[in-house]
Chains A and B, each alone.
Chain A
Amino acid sequence: MHSKAPANLPSKTPKVTLSARDLIKVYQAGTVEIRALDGVDLDLYEDELVVLVGPSGSGKSTLLNILGGLDAPTSGQVFFRGQQLDLENDAIITEYRRKHVGFVFQFYNLIASLTAQENVALVTEIAEAPLTPTEALSLVGLGDRLNAFPAELSGGEQQRVAIARAIAKQPDLLLCDEPTGALDSKTGILVLAALEQVNRELGTTTALITHNRSISGMADRVFRFGDGRIVETSINAARVPVDELVW
């Protein structure tokens, strides 16, 4: 389904949204040093959807956290649209997250005291050119559950609210850390479909971590991680429609 090939850039030279250069992240766990990232170089392009796969502890989440401004690398640089990000500066990276990044996690992390619509509005109120909460929720197929509190939604619905919340500000970058990890396959497909649709319709650069290799088919490119490095990059000639994915 996908060809194993060196990392070739797509032919029409699209713009780079985010680049990472020589990222190294070392954790001190007691007396043991853990190299979570061991020199990662990466470029993410506009409109593309990439999938990060690899065993636990291979560095996928660490990379995603650094790219999203949730964590700082031990060394190395991150460039957002060619501008280097000062990942140590809380004010700058907060601003970066606020304006440019959307996150989706395995655990939906919705605000329990706000309804679906309000959870999305939380982001649209502080964004520059957001979708309306209703638009964002309709995009993920929840146009009819606007006024439900998280406690009144199923797991899949909660995750789709989380996606709507992440994309409502029309981020430049959507980072998803195992968004289907807590869901059954049927619900997982719905969530992935929502992500795919957002990527397609809004052109949001999307990076998605998964343990499930079959999900790789929906990506433009797939990065395989091992021991803190990208050990393999593959390009899919064509994205497999989500409803055809074999779970």
Chain B
Amino acid sequence: MHPLNRKIFRDLKRLRGQAFAIAMIVASGIGVLVMSLSAMQALTDTTQAYYERYQFADVFAVTKRTPMHVVRELEGIDGVRTIEPRIVQYATIDVESFPEPIAGSFVSIPENHPPRLNQLALRAGRMPLDTEPDEILINEPFAEAHALAPGDTIEALLNGRKRVLNIVGLALSPEFVYAIGPGTLMPDAARYGVVWMGQKALAAAYDLDHAFNNAAFSLWPGSPIASVLRSIDDILEKYGGIGAIARDDQISNWFVMNEIEQLKSIASIMPPIFLAVAAFLTNMVLARLVYIERAEIGLLKAFGYTDVTMAWHYIKFVLIICAAGVIIGWGLGYWLGHWMTTMYADLFRFPLLVFAPRYDIYVLSATISIGAALIGAIGAVRFAASLPPAEAMRPPSPPAFRHHSSLLAGLVEHLDQPTRIIFRQVFRRPLRTLLTSLGVSASVAVLVASLQWLDAIDYMIEDYFTNQQRQDITISLVEAANTDVVNDLARLPGIQAVEPHRAVAARLHFGPRYRREAVIGLPQNGELEVLHDVHGSRVPLPGNGLLVSSAMADILGAGVGDAVIVEVLEGRRPIVAIEVAAIFETLIGTPVYMEFEALNRTLNEPERTNLLVAVFDERQQQHLYETIKELPTVAGVVLKRAAIDLFDQTIGETMLIMIFFYVAFASTLAFGVLYNNMRISLSERGRELATLRVLGFTNAEIAYMLFGEAAVLTLIGLPLGCLLGWLLAVFMAQGFNTELFRIPVVIEASTYGYSMLVVLTSAFASALLVERRLVRLNLISVLKTRE
């Protein structure tokens, strides 16, 4: 091996602690980048493969009842390639071992051939036989949640008739990747099931012979989607169509796409922070190394080594550190990416999983980090290359310190000498001070921004489930019924209070913009659903006009006083102009509210309700559930307790694991920055500290002078980090904002506290490691040699 290369390895061995810290920061950045990019790619690939193989539809339309012959008319629409007419109904399911009522989506499948669109991945058992109307398939997660297998039975209330259905198979469908029940926020496999039944059997149950109430379409590539949707709506309007939607708005697909967007957001926010810090540290460590070795550099140049050789020598040093970080990061990222993808596979149900991260993710991540490290190395390498041999071999003069301005001088007056040393070190290289403090603050910021997710979620749960939703149970009815049903419900066992609400499918238009959204009617003095804005103050329900969420107002571009065209998509389908009476901010969804009676007047359907919210006595819970399971008019039931538990469980679990990693990454960052700072300080000031020991200062006193500087930098970094963390949280919240959720930027004082504590712990750990070297400082050899 060339002696210069041998020197690199010896240098690396000597500086292993610092090199390792830098490599770990590079690894953290690469890890997050590879993790999010590979999970994103896996999710995209898997979804795409799944959608393609199982013919996921491009357009979905819901109607009341459309005769079969209309299919031909729909097929005639320019751009439509295939149409799958079917029946989709909500009905309650009863599983013997489970006390609560379960919401079910019943979807028809053709008897004699597989569906042309939204095909099923049969996971166990077989398809139902057309001769057996009670044979069904259920979706796999639902089966797993209740330990159901082919051969078992479930009961369901179909159109008012209790049916015992025989499970013959388990399936997954691209339509229900994210299987979310009506009125819920998250998939709950135990309380929401998808059931596939033969077309004839389901038609018979719902009196839909020779008719369908739901259609899926595939389009020819490049078809103008907007005009296809319009044409479908035009045809289906007279059959009770409530507006066709494109795949982008299909709920399951929407969630998957949204998750991919969030991964993109992680990939673009976190890694740059780590790589920038790695570049800075590379610069700091290399600059010091070159400075110490300037005599050797001069000597080598005097021997005839070229500037380029010397530059390349130090670049290799950086490349080796960086390469170590890249390789560790690749491994970490691959592993985390796989873990994350598996987690997604659990949340989103895919029959297949494509986890084959493309090599370009690895090439890209390595290129970016090596690029960043080289940028960091430029200054030091250029210094090494440009050092004239003679100058390189001359000893340096003492570093210059500036005299303070009179104001600072006045301040310094009051400090003892050791403190003055700290103070002057901090001010001597303002850029290095600033960058080191920024490095510390970056780790605080990463912690604040990731720990605040828990605060935000707590806040959302509190806001939505405690302040707004005061009911215990929400019951949606198959069809709107007279408000007398309130009294019927009130008589059920354990029910303490009931309120009728109304949800109406509508399309809201304002100018050229439009949006589908249910308009919810709430009673004027209702107590079970109370609207609050994001600041917690109660939003009064206007007597007339719409109460629009700001998210919806933004989508439509409408403000208070503007008249929005409400195109009701059910019943008599009135189209009315309603004024926006007020706008309020909410974290969840894009809701639009109206006063209950006002809404019914608009619909010309007085005293009708299709959504009942109630409070019940927990002791009667069992009895109540059993009764509700028998009610034919019930389409679905949402229990608040279950929803909160699920929210906590699903989000909490994954969040905690992610937070664990971010804490680890942030600690690495803080450790790397401070350890390197202290080591370089020790190297720069070893003589000085040895001198102080000779002068009679104790180990503790010189530790004060060495670590005092790091402590000051940390103390500057902590509050700065809290501020940056807040900014990062705001930025990330914006990145994660969707129409469904707006992540609030809520940061508890304790979150700032924990973040700072983690960084302080890292600071102490690095100080302890450096302290061992400080104690071993060889007084004689340091003093007897020139630096």
A150 to chain B, nearest CB (A): 4
In the complex formed, the residue of A with least CB distance to B705 is A111
A106 and B693 alpha carbons, distance in the complex (Å): 17
- Judged by a CB distance under 8 angstroms, whether B398 is at the interface is yes
A97 and B692 alpha carbons, distance in the complex (Å): 10
B401 touches A149 (CB 8 A): yes
Cβ contacts under 8 Å, A113 to chain B: 399, 401, 420-421, 424-425, 428
- Judged by a CB distance under 8 angstroms, whether A126 is at the interface is yes
In the complex formed, the residue of B with least CB distance to A65 is B780
The stretch of B218-226, B439-447, B695-703 in contact with A is B695-703
- Judged by a CB distance under 8 angstroms, whether B416 is at the interface is yes
A103 touches B692 (CB 8 A): no
- Judged by a CB distance under 8 angstroms, whether A61 is at the interface is yes
- Judged by a CB distance under 8 angstroms, whether A237 is at the interface is no
B691 touches A111 (CB 8 A): yes
A94 touches B786 (CB 8 A): no
Q: Most chain-A CB neighbours within 10 Å: which of B397, B425, B696?
A: B696
B231 to chain A, nearest CB (A): 80
- Judged by a CB distance under 8 angstroms, whether B687 is at the interface is yes
Instruction: State which of A90, A105, A125 has its C-beta within 8 Å of the C-beta of B783.
Output: A105
A146 to chain B, nearest CB (A): 12
Interface size on B, residues (CB 8 A): 32
- Judged by a CB distance under 8 angstroms, whether A43 is at the interface is no
In the complex formed, the residue of A with least CB distance to B688 is A111
In the complex formed, the residue of A with least CB distance to B690 is A109
- Judged by a CB distance under 8 angstroms, whether B417 is at the interface is yes
A96 to chain B, nearest CB (A): 8
Cβ contacts under 8 Å, A123 to chain B: 695-696
A112 touches B780 (CB 8 A): no
- Judged by a CB distance under 8 angstroms, whether B779 is at the interface is yes
The stretch of A76-84, A114-122, A194-202 in contact with B is A114-122
Cβ contacts under 8 Å, A70 to chain B: 694, 779-780
B69 to chain A, nearest CB (A): 93
Cβ contacts under 8 Å, B785 to chain A: 107
* A107 and B696 in contact, given A113-B401, A147-B403, A151-B400 (Cβ under 8 angstroms): no
Chain A 58-91, CB within 8 Å of chain B: the 1/0 string?
0001000100101100000000000000000011
A94 touches B421 (CB 8 A): no
A180 to chain B, nearest CB (A): 16
* A112 and B417 in contact, given A71-B780, A101-B696 (Cβ under 8 angstroms): no
A114 touches B398 (CB 8 A): no
The bracket for how many chain A residues form the interface is 35 or more
Cβ contacts under 8 Å, A96 to chain B: 696
A109 and B441 alpha carbons, distance in the complex (Å): 35
A97 touches B784 (CB 8 A): no
* A97 and B696 in contact, given A112-B401, A114-B424, A151-B397 (Cβ under 8 angstroms): yes
- Judged by a CB distance under 8 angstroms, whether A16 is at the interface is no
A61 and B403 alpha carbons, distance in the complex (Å): 37
B417 touches A118 (CB 8 A): yes
A148-170 at interface with B (beta carbon < 8 Å): 149-152, 158, 165
Chain A 107-141, CB within 8 Å of chain B: the 1/0 string?
10111111000100111011000000000000000
- Judged by a CB distance under 8 angstroms, whether A95 is at the interface is yes
- Judged by a CB distance under 8 angstroms, whether B418 is at the interface is yes
B400 touches A149 (CB 8 A): yes
Cβ contacts under 8 Å, A2 to chain B: none
B537 to chain A, nearest CB (A): 56
A98 touches B399 (CB 8 A): no
* A122 and B399 in contact, given A98-B697, A107-B783 (Cβ under 8 angstroms): no
B744-787 at interface with A (beta carbon < 8 Å): 779-780, 783-786
In the complex formed, the residue of A with least CB distance to B395 is A107
In the complex formed, the residue of B with least CB distance to A147 is B403
A79 to chain B, nearest CB (A): 19
- Judged by a CB distance under 8 angstroms, whether A99 is at the interface is yes
A97 and B424 alpha carbons, distance in the complex (Å): 26
A171 and B311 alpha carbons, distance in the complex (Å): 50
Instruction: State which of B418, B696, B780 has its C-beta within 8 Å of the C-beta of A98.
Output: B696
Cβ contacts under 8 Å, A114 to chain B: 417, 420-421, 424
Cβ contacts under 8 Å, B698 to chain A: 91, 94, 98
Instruction: State which of B693, B695, B779 has its C-beta within 8 Å of the C-beta of A165.
Output: B695
B696 touches A126 (CB 8 A): yes
Q: Most chain-B CB neighbours within 10 Å: which of A68, A103, A122?
A: A122
B694 touches A97 (CB 8 A): yes
A164 and B388 alpha carbons, distance in the complex (Å): 37
A111 and B400 alpha carbons, distance in the complex (Å): 11
* A90 and B398 in contact, given A97-B694, A114-B417 (Cβ under 8 angstroms): no
In the complex formed, the residue of A with least CB distance to B694 is A103
A183 to chain B, nearest CB (A): 14
B193-237 at interface with A (beta carbon < 8 Å): none
Q: Most chain-B CB neighbours within 10 Å: which of A97, A158, A177?
A: A97
A75 and B698 alpha carbons, distance in the complex (Å): 25
A61 and B398 alpha carbons, distance in the complex (Å): 25
A95 touches B696 (CB 8 A): yes
B650 to chain A, nearest CB (A): 56
B695 touches A90 (CB 8 A): no
Instruction: Please name 21 pairs of A and B residues whose Cβ atoms are closer than 8 Å in the assembled complex, sorted by A.
Output: A65-B780, A94-B699, A97-B694, A99-B696, A101-B696, A103-B694, A103-B695, A107-B786, A109-B691, A109-B694, A110-B398, A110-B691, A111-B421, A113-B401, A114-B424, A123-B695, A125-B416, A125-B417, A126-B696, A151-B399, A158-B398
Report the 6 A-B pairs with minimum CB-CB distance, sorted nearest first: A98-B696, A113-B424, A122-B417, A97-B696, A109-B691, A151-B400
Residues on A lying within 8 angstroms of B by beta carbon are 61, 65, 68, 70-71, 90-91, 94-99, 101, 103, 105-107, 109-114, 118, 121-123, 125-126, 147, 149-152, 158, 165, 177
Other A-B pairs beyond A105-B783, A112-B399, A149-B398, 12, CB < 8 Å: A70-B780, A71-B779, A94-B697, A94-B698, A98-B698, A103-B695, A110-B691, A114-B420, A122-B418, A123-B695, A126-B696, A151-B397
